[in-house]
Amino acid sequence: MSNYIDAIESISPQNTFNSEGFFDEINPLVGDYFSCVAPDYKQYILVKQLRRMSQVIRMGVACAKSCLDKANISVPDAISIGTGLGCVTDTIKFLNNLNENNETLLNPTAFIQSTHNTVSGQIALMLGCNAHNFTFSQQALSFENALIEALMILEETEQQNILVGGIDEITPEVFSLIKQADCYNKDEFVPGEGAGFFVLSNIKSAKNIAQIKDVLTINEKMEKEAFEKKLSAFLAKNNIALEQIDILITGDGQEAIDKNIKEVILTKCEQSINLVKYKHLVGEYDTASAFGLWLAAKIIQKQRIPETVLFHKIKNKRLSNILIFNNGNKKQHSFILITAC
């Protein structure tokens, strides 16, 4: 059974939300980390509800509703969302209240909204969706696991429409902790945030943007030889040769990982493959691969690659088979393979 992407939406540090443009203008980095361009949330959320929502919940609800609107779906058959850090702002608020009030007389609202599944819960409440609803939180594999869950449901049940998303936020407190842990190197990566949502279906229709062929997650450090074996096995499973890949999307990742990719792929196929990166535009965060999937689907939809994300160009090539590789924290890796319909 084939699985399709019927709608895509992204809230990011660039002008991607509900936009027909495709990186026509680039928002530069301001400060130490990337922050999202906030849309007019009042178009998607009632003002009285909006006041009680933190930024990440607003992002998730608005992005999800816009994505469903594009697919002409009011209520999905299931919701599957990935987040690495969850609702950080509400978590910090709850912990501060806990400390300031000596663990007494606490308002429960901040705690209720601090859990990782708050975004998916708020989406379900606003849509009146009582169906399957899961949130996955496995650091840099959070979005991929949400995506795998959705694909498993689609394989088991006919005529389903599933809302899948990946979302994370960055706050001054989180950035401070990153620096305190000695994990920050601006020359290597810049923290960021974003929300990416997709409507997946197993129904062939005019709405189909792209077909999701497969997803693979790896939870171990990989040297060049291991990377080559994993990649070869993944492609063989999906009956596609390396030379048939039109675009490799890598983010911008760790230099060592980029070197392995170049040695394994580009040196073999430098005449047939385009290399695309994106984390220089949105930053690094646990569910950044959701932006990578949005970018891949957008490229297939538009049949062009914006110059700002293109790092190795092959002319006169149809943009059909796209392989997304993500490396989150040097030991968590993933492959996502999508093709044109």
DSSP string spanning 215-256?
EEEEES---HHHHHHHHHHHHHHTT--GGG--EEE--S--HH
Which residues, including other chains, have CB under 8 Å from residue 238's CB and lie 6 or more apart? 213, 214, 337
List the 321-327 sheet strands across, edge first.
132-136, 78-82, 161-168, 194-201, 3-11, 210-219, 332-339, 321-327, 247-249, 274-276, 310-312
H/E stretch holding 156: helix 142-156
Cα angle at 76 between 72 and 114, to 5 degrees? Answer: 120
Mean pLDDT of the chain: 89
Q: How is domain 3-201 classified at the CATH fold level?
A: Peroxisomal Thiolase; Chain A, domain 1 (3.40.47)
Between 125 and 96, the more confident residue is 125
Specify the pLDDT at position 100. 82
Which residues, including other chains, have CB under 8 Å from residue 235's CB and lie 6 or more apart? 241, 242, 245, 337
Between 187 and 86, the more confident residue is 86
- Dist. CA 287–CA 82, nearest whole Å: 7
Specify the pLDDT at position 37. 97
- Dist. CA 290–CA 143, nearest whole Å: 6
- State yes or no: pLDDT of 255 exceeds 60: no
Mean per-residue pLDDT, 254-268: 63
What does the domain layout of the chain look like in residue ranges?
3-201, 210-339
Rg of the chain, C-alpha, whole Å: 20
Specify the pLDDT at position 261. 65
Specify the pLDDT at position 105. 72
pLDDT of 124-183, one tens digit each?
Answer: 999 999 999 999 999 999 999 999 999 999 999 888 999 999 999 998 888 888 888 777
- Dist. CA 283–CA 278, nearest whole Å: 8
- Dist. CA 136–CA 138, nearest whole Å: 6
Nearest in space to 227 (alpha carbons), one of 211, 240, 242: 242
Class of domain 210-339: alpha beta
216-223: long-range contacts, CB 8 A cutoff, minimum separation 24: 216/334, 216/335, 217/141, 217/144, 217/145, 217/148, 217/332, 217/333, 217/334, 218/332, 218/333, 218/334, 219/141, 219/331, 219/332, 220/331, 221/330, 221/331, 222/257, 222/260, 222/333, 223/260
- State yes or no: pLDDT of 259 exceeds 70: no
Do 151 and 336 contact (CB within 8 A), yes or no? no
Q: Which residues, in sequence order, are bridge partners of residue 161?
A: 201
Between 50 and 253, the more confident residue is 50
pLDDT-derived band at 16, boundaries 50, 70, 90? very high
Q: Residue 255, Cα to own-chain centre: how many angstroms?
A: 21
Q: Give CA separation, 222 vs 228, 259, 283, in Å.
A: 9, 12, 23
Q: Which two tokens stand for residue 255?
A: 């230099």
Residue 284 DSSP one-character state = B
Specify the pLDDT at position 258. 56
Please list, residue by residue across 258-274, b when 16 or more beta carbons sit within 10 angstroms of its beta carbon and e when fewer do.
Answer: bebbbebbbeebeeebb
Specify the pLDDT at position 185. 74
- Dist. CA 18–CA 298, nearest whole Å: 12
Q: Which two tokens stand for residue 257?
A: 């990982």
- Dist. CA 341–CA 335, nearest whole Å: 19
